[in-house]
Structure formats: structure tokens, C-alpha cells
């Protein structure tokens, strides 16, 4: 499947909202590995913020959005005291956020393609590191990150226990 990964455009907001809703519906029918809740995260507002900040990228299969990723410079507050592999300012780090693959494209390499794209973008823009958090019970995502060269760093509380999301693993990949 030939994917094209491009910067998201304001006109993608409706398709991204539909993508998030499809993911939520899929998770509701099976195991909700990431612990996401419809109307809470991710939402259209998350997509709009990524589009406004020029940090959201979409994987397109023709006209369809197969997945998306946000590459931000904004860490979660819980990231700050952590000893990361790269000792640098967040202007030299991409924090991966809102990494999603449409249910119809699961197990088709879209996630790997988006992570490889993130690595290329980081190299092209002089970043030193890619960082992310993942709910500790999200074993499919953890397996993918580790297979793609991400190193486990620490486990932290992101303040989401009210949603049943008590602890998150932090991962990093040097560029």
C-alpha cells in the first residue's frame, strides 16, 4: 500500500475527527489498549491544535487518512524531572502525541511508517530525540515502539487516574 505522509491541513479536521471516532468505536468493541475515551481524548480539538501548530501529519492512502501523528515540542509536566538519554532542551525534541491508525489499516504498516517518518522529520530538522508516553497496559503499542528502536526510560503518573490511566511508560529514541 503506497502511503503518502504529509503535513495536515485545516481542511483535514473533519476527516481527523472521523478517524478518531472510528478508533474510539473500534476500541469500544474490543480491548481499549490505550484507555482512550470518546469525547475526552483524542478529539477534534486535539487535531485542530495540531493543525494550528503545524505539528500534525497525516498518512494518506489516496484520499483516505490511514493514520496521523503529532510531533510537538511540548512535554507533559511529568517529563521534566526524568533523566532522558539526551540531555537537551525541548526545542531539540519531538514529543510524539495523538499517534493513531485507522482500524481498517491496522497491521498494514501504517504505524511503522508514521514512526519512520517521525525519525526522518527529526533528522531533517536537527532534533536530538523523539519522546513519547504510553499507557503501561498498552502492550501492542509498547511492542511497536520497542521494535522501532525506542528505549524504555521510566514510568510516571500523568494525572489521569480518574480515567483509569494510572501509570505511563516513557520511551525515547535518539535521532
- Cβ-contact 175, 119 below 8 angstroms: yes
Question: 20-34: per-residue pLDDT in tens?
Answer: 999 999 999 999 999
Q: What's the predicted TM-score (pTM) here?
A: 0.96
Q: Are 131 and 145 in contact, with CB atoms under 8 Å apart?
A: no
Which band of pLDDT confidence, cut at 50, 70 and 90, is reported for residue 2?
confident
Range(s) of the domain holding residue 107: 4-132
Q: What's the rounded mean pLDDT across residues 77-106?
A: 98
- Is 160 among the domain residues? no
- Predicted local confidence at residue 1, as pLDDT: 64
Is residue 86 in some structural domain? yes
Is position 145 within any domain? no
pLDDT at 167: 96
What is the tally of structural domains in the chain? Answer: 1
Residue 98 lies in a domain: yes
Please state the rounded mean pLDDT for residues 87-106. 98
Determine, yes or no, domain membership for 170.
no
What pLDDT was estimated at residue 95?
98
The answer to whether 18 and 73 have CB atoms below 8 angstroms apart is no
Distance of CA 148 to CAs 53, 59, 118, 172, Å?
26, 18, 11, 11
Structural domain contains residue 148: no
Q: With bands split at pLDDT 50, 70 and 90, how would you rate the model's confidence at 38?
A: very high
CATH code, domain carrying 54: 3.40.630.30
Q: What is the pLDDT of residues 42-78, one digit of tens each?
A: 999 999 999 999 999 999 999 999 999 999 999 999 9
Q: What is the mean pLDDT of the chain?
A: 97
Amino acid at each position: 500500500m503506497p502511503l503518502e505522509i504529509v503535513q495536515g491541513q485545516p481542511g483535514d479536521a473533519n476527516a481527523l475527527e472521523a478517524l478518531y471516532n472510528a478508533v474510539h468505536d473500534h476500541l469500544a468493541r474490543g480491548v481499549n489498549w490505550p484507555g482512550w475515551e470518546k469525547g475526552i481524548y483524542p478529539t477534534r480539538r486535539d487535531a485542530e491544535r495540531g493543525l494550528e501548530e503545524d505539528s500534525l501529519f497525516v498518512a494518506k492512502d489516496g484520499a483516505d487518512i490511514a493514520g496521523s501523528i503529532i510531533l510537538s515540542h511540548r512535554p507533559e509536566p511529568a517529563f521534566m524531572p526524568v533523566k532522558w538519554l539526551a540531555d537537551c532542551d525541548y526545542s531539540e525534541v519531538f514529543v510524539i502525541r495523538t499517534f493513531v491508525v485507522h482500524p481498517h489499516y491496522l497491521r498494514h504498516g501504517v504505524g511503522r511508517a508514521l514512526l519512520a517518518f517521525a525519525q526522518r522529520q527529526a533528522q531533517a530538522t536537527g532534533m536530538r530525540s523523539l519522546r513519547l508516553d504510553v499507557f503501561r497496559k498498552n502492550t501492542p503499542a509498547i511492542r511497536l515502539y520497542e521494535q522501532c528502536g525506542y528505549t524504555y526510560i521510566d514510568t510516571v503518573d500523568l494525572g489521569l487516574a480518574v480515567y483509569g490511566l494510572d501509570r505511563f511508560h516513557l520511551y525515547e529514541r535518539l535521532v
